[in-house]
Amino acid sequence: MIKNWPNPPDNGRVKTVNQMGFMFVQLSTLSQRFIEYATQSTSPVIDIGCAYGVAVLPILDAESTCPVVALDTCQTHLDELLDRVPDNKKTQITTIRATFPEEFSFPDNYFQAIHIAYVLQFFKGEQLKAGLIKCFNSLKPGGKLFLYTASIYFNFWRDQFLSQYEKKSAAGVEFPGEIENQHQYLPAQFDEAKQVLPIFTHVFKLDDLVKIVSSTGFKVEVAEYDDIQGVSGYESEGKGMISIVAEKPAFRL
């Protein structure tokens, strides 16, 4: 399936039009796991914060009949995505413009898989937990949640904010990675990013995010650090991002 992204990728990134960062053209290992899992499903899957569909189009491109829901806050992104879907696949995809988690409303036990990449860093702690609870409820028993988000060890966060994170954590702050004004920490080479990034961001240590995910009922199956690939300047010694795959248990004690 020809992608032809709406703007030529710049250093492996395509700008969003709603000031929510970038869509990264090279799929993470986590997103590849989601795509592989989704193509084996006959039940619906959803990509939350899908942007232009980098993790959606490969599912439609596969020999799969899996119903796909693409959710984003920006209608322009969704329109661009639909323009890239062949006519014979359009009945397989549903696009929804909505804000997650506030406008996320699906029946319980509905999805087989949920993918959320490059999104959680925009949420404050309580909003994050509310979103995870909604994900848990909407997943089928045995269904899986695929998360990919920013780590405190992303290069400039590690250098400028790690000590503050650790002090807050030691003091018992529940969400020590909340950063109210990330723009003041961004180095000069990221000046362009300030145009497409919100002021607030939220970064995590792996164990801390695992605890949050587990507290909402999920059984974490995969939890590991990773790096964004194909983007110069984002190298973080393999620890700049966090990948989590978590299952909704078939039975709860």
Which residue pairs, CB below 8 angstroms and at least 24 apart, start in 129-136?
Answer: 129/212, 129/215, 129/216, 130/101, 131/100, 131/101, 131/104, 132/212, 132/213, 132/216, 132/218, 133/216, 133/217, 134/101, 134/104, 135/216, 136/216, 136/217, 136/218, 136/248
The CATH number of whichever domain residue 43 belongs to comes to: 3.40.50.150
Per the structure, how many domains does the chain have?
A: 1
Q: Look at residues 177, 179, 187 and name the one whose alpha carbon lies nearest to residue 156.
A: 187
pLDDT of residue 1: 44
Cβ-contact 207, 3 below 8 angstroms:
no
**Does residue 123 sit within a domain?**
yes
What's the predicted TM-score (pTM) here?
0.94
**Does residue 187 sit within a domain?**
no
**Does residue 172 sit within a domain?**
no
CA distance 248 to 140: 7
pLDDT of residue 2: 43
Q: How many residues does the chain have?
A: 253
- Alpha-carbon distances, residue 39 vs 17, 51, 61, 116, 222 (angstroms): 29, 20, 10, 17, 19
**Does residue 178 sit within a domain?**
no
Cβ-contact 245, 222 below 8 angstroms:
yes
CA distance 149 to 244: 9
pLDDT in tens, the chain (253 residues): 445 666 656 778 788 888 777 788 889 999 999 999 999 999 999 999 999 899 999 999 988 899 999 999 999 999 999 999 989 999 999 999 999 999 999 999 999 999 999 999 999 999 999 999 999 999 999 999 999 999 999 988 898 899 999 999 999 999 999 999 988 887 776 777 777 788 899 999 999 999 999 999 999 999 999 998 888 888 889 999 999 999 999 865 4
pLDDT of residue 233: 80
**Does residue 102 sit within a domain?**
yes
For residue 239, what are the domain limits? 13-17+27-150+204-247
CA distance 93 to 80: 13
pLDDT of residue 253: 46
**Does residue 198 sit within a domain?**
no
Bond prior to 176 in cis (omega within 30° of 0): no
**Does residue 75 sit within a domain?**
yes
**Does residue 163 sit within a domain?**
no
